[in-house]
Structure 1
Amino acid sequence: MLHQLDINNAFLHGHLEEHVYLKPPAGYEGVTAGKVCKLKKSLYGLKQASRCWNLELKKVLLGHDFKQCERDHSLFVRYKGHKCCIILVYVDDLLLTGDDEDSIAQMKLVLDGAFTIKDLGKLRYFLGIEVARNCKGTMINQRKYAIDIVKDAGMENCHAVTFPFPEGIKLSTDQGELLEDPEPYRRLIGKFLYLNLSRPDLSFSVQQLSQYLSSPRKPHFQAALHVVKYLKGTLNLGLFYPSETEHHLYGYSDADWGSCMHSGRSLTGYCVFLGSSLISWKTKKQKVVSKSSCEAELRSMSQTTSELAWVAGLFEDLGITVPTPVPLFCDNKSTEYIAHNAAFHE
């Protein structure tokens, strides 16, 4: 079972390590001329407030036998015998899960005693992500968030399209008229970036459009509106994670050689599955120019391997054994030969 908590006034619980002074607030009667106040605990607005809060929460969790995961420092795990309790932290929002309801209830009391909490019950809506659970598995989507994007763009009555990016289009940094006000474009792309958390079908579109945030042009904005039209017809799409799936990790890797018309760099795309569940994906431009499609594919495989190693390590922190070796699939024979022969790796 997944539970959700919110810490009340989280940033006020942190203890300061530095000496911080402030002028007495207006209305404070104990003001002495020429004197200032010394802060003992953090306040909202301080640069170090979030770090102080995180250290305070970490101290409480470690004091109750939790271990901070090496691969993801926002994840805390505790094993007592055969009972497991897991806490995932996002600033002052916490997710609790495990195989023992008593441990979860006990941790709620501990956190409430240390900080005071707002118990939001079973997880249904978390940071814009809707969660639906039953005996068959868990479904996550961002339907409400996608609807808000369509409404904010004023395209509730538009005709939906079936492809997330205009077919055959090549966007450029110097073609098309510059937008007079680039802020609407930047806000829209920022929303797409967050929507990509549960919509892998938008990964390529977001990668392409986010390259032009500094000087967006009208063709870029038209392409972004095309994505909104696609959202209009796919509001209910999301990711389903079955409750029963094999603990086999595997990945798929691909590359688009020299696809960037300005830099000549290639595009990497990968996705990682646990059993039948998609758990990680990315579309990203490679850092260097590849001289052949084979080289571009090899770099893509290298990036995918790094992701697989990180995910495998994360499962190790959770106490889950992932069978090795982890399969990695690629559609380029030459790259496979290079990967199997260390002499060719140069």
Structure 2
Amino acid sequence: MNKTQRRVVHGANRINGINLQIGRVLRFGDAVKKKNFTKEHKYCDNCKATTPTEPRILWNMNLARMGLLVSVDDILITGADESLIIATKNYLHDQFTIKDMGYAKYFLGIELARSSSGLYLHQRKYIMDIFTNAGLQNAKSIAYPMCPRIPHWNAAIHILKYLIGCPSKGVFFSADSYFKLNAFCDADWAACLDTRRSISGYCIFLGSFLVSWKTKKQNIESRSSAEAENQSMTATVCKLKWISYLLKDFQIAPSPPINLHCDNQAALHIVVFHERTKHLEIDCHVVRNKVSKGFITIVKVYCKMQLADLFTKPSSNSSFQFLVSKLGLVSPHQSLT
């Protein structure tokens, strides 16, 4: 696919496999600006914006709420006004060589399946391709992915064998969902044996459905578990702010405050008594500022109910299965019925 080609999928009408003719070539950024599309919001104050390698969301606010999710040569169009979506595709047709893929069924490794009850997302094809490349088509599956204290390659194979047993497990979004954000965050202090940096993890729900999750090694060393937890809380607050902006662009306004669940008592107290911990000042101010504005409220959660534990530390088989069930991961026969 050359520089002027784009593949377009959308959710408003069914036009599959149509090759559009080559038109006048413009830079994509300049072309969409002429149609009043603008870039997405930053996460929040004191937080970094998305990196250039991440998919970009472009919005047209003039006529109706419509968005373009752009990733290299792939574009996902979404909006409530079908005529505006068609007009946008026609405009892109005049500027570029694009292939209209119709209703979105596969985008960036994610498969989408619809029914009257809702939308089901999974990565079966992506996972099966990994099995094939790794030569594991006939490998025996395992029920538990945790594998501490084994070499990295063996750990990767161990996780793949877990996925063999559940390649179609995914996330289901019911058509009857309610719009209330809810988040869990956690940190595993000094977990990296090479750098002694901590691991942050969070998961965010819209209603009862999982919409965002992340695990990442922190950028700096933490001098206490409370400091590590505060870094994790700050990252979660920034993501919540970005999601709230995104929902507002869709004219959805979740009612504040958002419950942010944390299981570290010291971290909870630091948010309140931050003047006594100057070395945590920036992270504390980010979280404390959002608490004072009523955007979030910090909720103490018992360790065994901390869903973010799944993203930060090893757990027993029974604990793992319990946390997975709480995340709402389901198989196709459980969702599209």
Which TM-score applies when normalising by structure 2?
Answer: 0.68
Structure 2 Cα separation of the partners of residues 324 and 112 of structure 1: 42
Equivalent position to 1:69, from 29, 40, 47: 40
Per-residue CA deviation, residues 209-244 of structure 1 (Å, 9 max, x unaligned), is xxxxxxxxxx22111111111111011111212233
Cα 1:5/1:89, change in 2 over 3 Å? farther
Residue 258 of structure 1 is matched in structure 2 by 190
Is 1:78–2:90 an aligned residue pair? no
Once the two structures are overlaid, the 10-residue window that deviates more, 72-81 or 328-337, is: 72-81
CA contact (8 A) 1:160 1:232 kept: yes
Is 1:97–2:84 an aligned residue pair? no
> Aligned residue pairs: how many?
255
Is 1:276–2:205 an aligned residue pair? no
CA contact (8 A) 2:197 2:217 kept: yes
Structure 1 Cα separation of the partners of residues 240 and 92 of structure 2: 34
CA contact (8 A) 1:137 1:240 kept: yes
> Within 5 A, what are the aligned runs for 1:309-328?
309-328=241-260
Is 1:133–2:133 an aligned residue pair? no
Structure 2 Cα separation of the partners of residues 320 and 238 of structure 1: 24
Return the offset for 1:98. 1.2
Which TM-score applies when normalising by structure 1?
Answer: 0.66
Return the offset for 1:124. 0.8
SS of 2:173's equivalent in the other structure is strand
Is 1:13–2:25 an aligned residue pair? yes
CA contact (8 A) 1:265 1:285 kept: yes
Cα 1:8/1:106, change in 2 over 3 Å? closer
Structure 2 Cα separation of the partners of residues 67 and 268 of structure 1: 31
Point out the structure with max Rg over C-alpha. 1
Seq. identity, %: 37
Is 1:304–2:236 an aligned residue pair? yes
Cα 1:228/1:111, change in 2 over 3 Å? same
CA contact (8 A) 1:86 1:96 kept: yes
Return the offset for 1:146. 0.7
Return the offset for 1:5. 8.9
Q: Which letter maps to 2:88?
A: M
Residue 294 of structure 1 is matched in structure 2 by 226
CA contact (8 A) 1:255 1:296 kept: yes
Structure 2 Cα separation of the partners of residues 63 and 5 of structure 1: 27
Equivalent position to 1:246, from 163, 174, 178: 178
Structure 2 Cα separation of the partners of residues 165 and 99 of structure 1: 43
Structure 2 Cα separation of the partners of residues 307 and 9 of structure 1: 40
Residue 152 of structure 2 is matched in structure 1 by 220
Per-residue CA deviation, residues 160-217 of structure 1 (Å, 9 max, x unaligned), is 1112231xx225xxxxxxxxxxxxxxxxxxxxxxxxxxxxxxxxxxxxxxxxxxxxxx
Structure 2 Cα separation of the partners of residues 60 and 289 of structure 1: 44
Return the offset for 1:254. 0.8
SS of 1:156's equivalent in the other structure is coil
Structure 2 Cα separation of the partners of residues 6 and 251 of structure 1: 41
Return the offset for 1:317. 4.1
Per-residue CA deviation, residues 247-287 of structure 1 (Å, 9 max, x unaligned), is 22221111112222232222111111222222221111222
CA contact (8 A) 2:187 2:232 kept: yes
Structure 2 Cα separation of the partners of residues 130 and 320 of structure 1: 25
Structure 1 Cα separation of the partners of residues 238 and 41 of structure 2: 15
Structure 1 Cα separation of the partners of residues 170 and 160 of structure 2: 16
Structure 2 Cα separation of the partners of residues 5 and 108 of structure 1: 14
Structure 2 Cα separation of the partners of residues 113 and 303 of structure 1: 41
SS of 1:132's equivalent in the other structure is strand
SS of 1:13's equivalent in the other structure is coil
Return the offset for 1:9. 10
Structure 2 Cα separation of the partners of residues 9 and 339 of structure 1: 58
Q: Structure 2 stretches of 5 or more lacking a match?
A: 1-9, 43-49, 279-337
Cα 1:170/1:6, change in 2 over 3 Å? farther
Of structures 1 and 2, the one scoring higher in RCO (CA 8 A, sep 6+) is 2
Residue 286 of structure 2 is matched in structure 1 by none
RMSD over aligned CA atoms reads 2.8
Residue 105 of structure 2 is matched in structure 1 by 124
Structure 1 Cα separation of the partners of residues 171 and 225 of structure 2: 32
Equivalent position to 2:149, from 154, 165, 170: 170
Q: Structure 1 stretches of 5 or more lacking a match?
A: 15-55, 172-218
CA contact (8 A) 1:65 1:78 kept: yes
Residue 149 of structure 1 is matched in structure 2 by 130
Structure 1 Cα separation of the partners of residues 181 and 17 of structure 2: 30
Structure 1 Cα separation of the partners of residues 98 and 179 of structure 2: 34
Cα 1:266/1:117, change in 2 over 3 Å? closer
Structure 1 Cα separation of the partners of residues 65 and 232 of structure 2: 36
Return the offset for 1:109. 1.4
